[in-house]
Structure 1
Amino acid sequence: MRTKCLLFVILLFVVLNCQKNTKTTSQDLSTPPNIVLFLVDDMGWQDTSVPFWDKRTPFNDLYHTPNMERLANEGMKFTQAYATAVCSPTRISLMTGMNAAKHQVTNWTLNKDALQPMESNHKTLSFPNWNVNGMSPVAGDENAIYATPLPQVLNDAGYYTIHSGKAHLGAIGTPGENPLNLGFDVNIAGHAAGAPASYYGMENFGNGKKGQEVWAVPGLEQYHGKDIYLSEAITLEALKAIDTAVQNKNPFFLYMSHYAVHSPIMGDDRFVQKYYDKGVDSTEAKYASMIEGMDKSLGDIMDFIDEKNIADNTIILFMSDNGGLSAVARGGKKHIHNKPLNSGKGSAYEGGIREPMLVKWPGKVNEKSNTDNYVIIEDFYPTILEMAGIETPKTIQKVDGQSFVPILIGESPKTNERPLFWHYPNFWGASGPGIGSSSAVRLGDWKLIYFYENQKLELYNLSKDIGELNNLAEINPEKAKALAIILTNYLKEVKAQIPADKKNGKQIPYPAEVLN
C-alpha cells in the first residue's frame, strides 16, 4: 500500500511538472535575449496617450496609443530621453554609438557627395563638408563615417538580425544605402530615402509614380494594389522574420524602424474616422491615425512574441528619432504641436530633441517604473550590447554612449552629472524657433544653446522652464560661461566641423569665444 501511494505521488509530481513546463518559454532563458528596437520617425514627446511629464497634457488626451500604455505598464518610462533634431544624425548615432559631432553625419542624407540645396544656397553661412554619404562598413569611403554597425556586432555574436522599415543610413549608390551591408540578415523595405512616396498599398507605396522614384518604398511588391497601410505591411513582414528566427531557435534583433509618422501625412483609414468625428483638424486627424497605426504595430509585435512563448526572454526598447514635426506640413498654427516644449523637429529646443522612450526587460526592469535620469541616442549602442551579454565588442570607432543598464536595474547612477552634447552645423530648410545652425550642451538642469548665424547664447533651467521661454544668459553669466567653455572644449576635442561666414570665409567663433 505504501509503495502504491509513493508511486501515485511521483506520478502526480510528473504530471504537474509537465503542465508547468508547457507555460515556459520555447526559448531557453539561458540563451541571449531577443531584442526589439522599435523606432518611430518624427514622433513628438507627447504624440501618445502615455504622459512623459509629471502631468497629462491635451496632446496625451488626443492621441490613442493603448499598446504604448501596455509597454509602459510592463517596463520603465524615461521622461528625459534625447535624440538629435533631425533623422539621419540620430540613426547614425544609434548604429555607431557616436555623438553627431564626431561621426559628422550632421544632416539628413540622400544624394551621394552632395550638400543639400538649402545649405548651398544659404545667405550668410557656408556649411562644412559633413559626411553626406552617411555611414559605411568599408574603410576609405569618402564623405562617410567608417564604423562597426550595431547589427554587425550582434550578428557576429549569433543574432539573427532583422531590419524592417526606414533605413536612411547611407546615400544613394553607397554601401550604407543597403542595410544588408551593415550586418542585417534581412532587409524589409529599407533604402536611402528617409520618407515614403506613399503609405498606401493601393498606390504601390509610390512605385510607378513619375518623379517619385527616389522615395518609392522598395521590396513590398506582394502588397501592391492591396488596401493596406505601410505600417501594417512592414510589420507583417517583420513578424515573418521573427518566426524564422524562432523556428531556427536563434536569438533575434529586430530593428522595427517605422516610416510613420514622417510626412507625407496620409490618413490610416483604420483609425482616422474617429478623429474626424471629434472635430479634429483634417490634417491632424490623419496624423493621429498614423500614430495609432504605429501603436497597433507595437501591439501586434508584442502579441506575436506572447504567442510564440518568448516574451520572458525578449527585450523591447521604444524610441523616436527626433522631435515632432511642427514647422511644416502640420495642421493649424505652426510651432505649437509639442507645447509646452518649444518648437519641434529641426530645432535645438526641447521640442526638437526630447523623445518618448520606454524599455521592457522581463526579470530586470520593474513594471510601471519611471526615471528622470537623462539619456541620449548614442547610449543605445553600448546598452543593447550589454543586454545581449557582449562584454568586449571589437569596434573600429570609440563609442561615446554610456550604457543605461544601471538605470534599468535600479542602481540609481548619477547620470545627470555628465554633459550631453548636440551639434548641428547645418541648415534644415524650414524656419522657426531654435531652427538653424547650432550647438548645445545640457549639464544637470541647465542647457546652453549657441546659434552660429547670430552668435547668440541662450541659457535655460529646464527644471523650472521646460518651455525654454526665459533666456538666463545675461542674468546668470557665470553659468553661461561655464557651459560655453565645456561646449567649446568638447567641440575642439572631437574636431567638430564649424560653419563659416559666407562673406569673409572665416570660421564662426566657438561658443566661449563670443564671451571674450
Structure 2
Amino acid sequence: MKNELLLSAALLPLCGMAGEVHTRPSNETAPVTDKRPNIILFLVDDMGWQDTSLPFWTQRTRYNDTYHTPNMERLAKQGKMFTQAYACSISSPTRVSLFTGMNAARHRVTSWTLRKNTTHEQPDSVMIYPEWNVNGICQEPGVERTTQVTSLAQVLKDNGYHTIHCGKAHFGANDTPGADPLKMGFDVNIAGHAAGSPASYYGMQNFGNKPGGKSPLAAVPGLEKYHGKDIFLSEALTIEAEKALDNARTTDKPFFLYMAHYAIHTPIQPDMRFYQKYLDKGLPPIEAAYATLIEGMDKSLGDLMDYLDKNNLTDNTVLLFMSDNGGLAAHTRAGKLHRQNYPLNSGKGSAYEGGVREPMIVRWPGVVAAETKCDHYLMIEDFFPTILEIAGVEHYNTVQKRDGISFLPLLTGKGKMPARDIYWHYPHSWGPSGPGIGATCSIRSGEWKLVYYFDSGKHELFNIPADISEKHDVAAENPKLVKKLSKKLSNYLRSVDAQRPVLRATNRLAPWPDETL
C-alpha cells in the first residue's frame, strides 16, 4: 500500500509553462508528515560511460575490469540502468540544463563559467565566437550576460522540500548571484561556489585555501574543519552530506539532496586509500590516481546508501545517479589520447558519444523494477520535469521556457515517452583538440546522429546502434537523410534563437546546417 501511495503521488499530472560517519538512530528522528519521496540526485563530474566496473554496453571492456565501483553495481541490482543517457559535453551547460529544464542552445550557457564577464576562449583564426552567457544563470533579473531562471531546487523548496546542495555548483560566475547555491533555491550549501574544479582534493592542503594569503578561485569553501587533516575531499563531502540529512530528518519535510561530487575532475590527485592497489595492477601513476577518484566517489555512493538503510529511509527515497559529461580523454591521461572511453569515440568536450553519453542508474523501491535496463535515449534537461513529477509537484511556473520531457514512464513502465529528437549545441572552442571537438551542433533522431561543424560546414552521419564508436561517417551515402536531419536541427536551433560563430573570411554568421547543402 505504501508504494502504491508513493506512485500515485508521483503520477500526478505535470503542468506549467514556461572523518567518521555521523548518523542518528532512526528512533530519535521526528516523524515526517509529508510522505512524498525523498530525492537524492548523485551527480559525478567528468565521469565517462566506461569509468566503472558496471558495463553499460552489451559486453565488458578492459575499462570495466580496471575500475572498481561495487556500489554502482549494487545500485544497479536494486534499480534500472539507462544505457543511452545523454548530457552536454561540458560541465556548466549540463548543470544549467539539469536545473532549468532548458536545452543549452536556449539558455546560452554553452561553455564553462568561472570569472565574471570573462570567457576562457582564445582568439581563433577562422571564427569569432558568440557572446554567450559567460556569467551563467541566476534567479534575479537584470544581471548582465546571464539567463534568469527558476531553478529546480527553488520549485522543490516552494513545494515543501528541504533542499541540500553538497559539492560542486558551477551555475554562475564568481561575484554573480548564481554562484551561490543559497540564492538558487537551496536551504543548505556545502562547499558549492563558482568554480568547477577543486584547487586540491586534500584536507592536508586545505582543499587549496591559503592561510593568510589569497586563495585561488578553485579553493573549496566551507570545509575549514577539515583543513590540515588527512582526509580526501570526496570523503569530507559525504560526511557533511550525512550531517545535513540528519538535520533534514528532524523536519516535517521530505528532502532533496543534490550530491554533486567534484570528483573525478582534474586535478587528478590520488586518493591514497585506494592508490596502491591500482599501482599493483600495473596502471601508470596518472591512471592509478584517476581510478582512485572513481573508487572514492563510489565509496561515497555506498556510504549514502548505507545511511538510508540504517535510518529506514531507503524505501521512501529515490536515488538518481548521473554524470555531467564524458570522461577526460583529450589531455593529461596516459596512453594514446581520445581512446579512454572505448568503445565510444573521444571524450569530454566532444560532440561524439565519448563526450556526451553518461552512466545513469535510478533506484526507487517498489516503483522501479530491480535489475532492469532501459535503452531509450534521454537528455539532461529531462531530469527537471521528471524530478518534479516524482515529487508530486502538480502545478508550477518558471521564468524560463523549458525543453525537457519527463522520463517517468521509463521508470514506472506505465505509459510511453513520446518519440523525439535531442539536440546539442556548442558554438565554441573548448581549447584542446581531438575527434568531434570544436564549434558544433548535433541531433540524435532515432538510430541516427548528425554532427555539423560550423567552421567547415561539414556534416557527419552515424548510425549509433550499428556504429557506437562513430568510425564510419555515412553522410555521403545518405544525402536525403542528411538533408532531413539538417533541416530538423536547423529549425530547432532557429526556434530557440541559438547563437552562431562569425566566419572571419566572410564576416558573416556561420551558416545553419541546412544552408550548406
Give the shorter-chain TM-score range: over 0.9
Superposition pairs of residues 256-335 of structure 1, within 5 angstroms: 256-335=259-338
User: How far apart in 2 are the matches of 1:230 and 1:66?
Assistant: 20
> Partner residue of 1:127?
129
Q: 1:397 to 1:488 in 2, by over 3 A?
A: same
Secondary structure in 2 matching 1:317: strand
> Partner residue of 1:479?
481
Contact 1:501 1:508 in 2 (8 A): yes
Report Cα offsets for 1:263-292 as digits up to 9, x if no partner: 000000011110000111110000001100
User: How far apart in 1 are the matches of 2:323 and 2:415?
Assistant: 24
> Partner residue of 1:372?
375
> Partner residue of 1:203?
205
> Is structure 2 residue 101 aligned with structure 1 residue 97?
yes
User: How far apart in 1 are the matches of 2:33 and 2:465?
Assistant: 41
Deviation at 1:93, TM superposition (A): 0.1
> Partner residue of 2:12?
none
Deviation at 1:504, TM superposition (A): 3.2
> Partner residue of 1:467?
469
> Partner residue of 2:65?
61
Report Cα offsets for 1:205-248 as digits up to 9, x if no partner: 00018775111100100000000000000111010000101122
Secondary structure in 1 matching 2:424: strand
> Is structure 2 residue 400 aligned with structure 1 residue 401?
no
Q: 1:482 to 1:26 in 2, by over 3 A?
A: farther
> Is structure 2 residue 72 aligned with structure 1 residue 73?
no
Q: In terms of mean alpha carbon deviation, does 231-240 or 501-510 score higher?
A: 501-510
Contact 1:315 1:359 in 2 (8 A): yes
> Partner residue of 1:6?
none
> Is structure 2 residue 355 aligned with structure 1 residue 352?
yes
> Is structure 2 residue 200 aligned with structure 1 residue 193?
no
> Is structure 2 residue 341 aligned with structure 1 residue 338?
yes
Structure 1 gaps of 5+ residues are: 1-21
Report Cα offsets for 1:63-113 as digits up to 9, x if no partner: 100100011001000000000000000000011000000000000001111
Structure 2 gaps of 5+ residues are: 1-25
> Partner residue of 2:257?
254
Secondary structure in 1 matching 2:309: helix
Report Cα offsets for 1:10-49 as digits up to 9, x if no partner: xxxxxxxxxxxx99x9866961111000000000001001
> Partner residue of 1:448?
450
TM-score by length of 1: 0.93
Question: What is the identity, as a one-letter code, of the residue corresponding to 2:153?
Answer: P
Contact 1:27 1:310 in 2 (8 A): no
Contact 1:335 1:344 in 2 (8 A): yes
Contact 1:281 1:332 in 2 (8 A): no
Q: In terms of mean alpha carbon deviation, does 346-355 or 392-401 score higher?
A: 392-401
Q: 1:264 to 1:373 in 2, by over 3 A?
A: same
Contact 2:44 2:323 in 1 (8 A): yes
* Alignment: residue pair count: 490
> Partner residue of 1:4?
none
Determine which structure has more spread, i.e. the larger CA radius of gyration.
Answer: 1
User: How far apart in 2 are the matches of 1:217 and 1:245?
Assistant: 24
Deviation at 1:414, TM superposition (A): 5.1
- How high is the sequence identity, in percent, across the aligned residues? 58
Report Cα offsets for 1:306-354 as digits up to 9, x if no partner: 1111111000000000000000111222111001100000000000000
User: How far apart in 1 are the matches of 2:216 and 2:461?
Assistant: 44
Q: 1:409 to 1:124 in 2, by over 3 A?
A: same
1:111 aligned residue (110, 115, 121):
115
RMSD, aligned α-carbons: 1.5
Moved over 4 A (4+): 25-30, 209-212
TM-score by length of 2: 0.93
Contact 1:115 1:129 in 2 (8 A): no
> Partner residue of 1:13?
none
1:36 aligned residue (40, 55, 63):
40
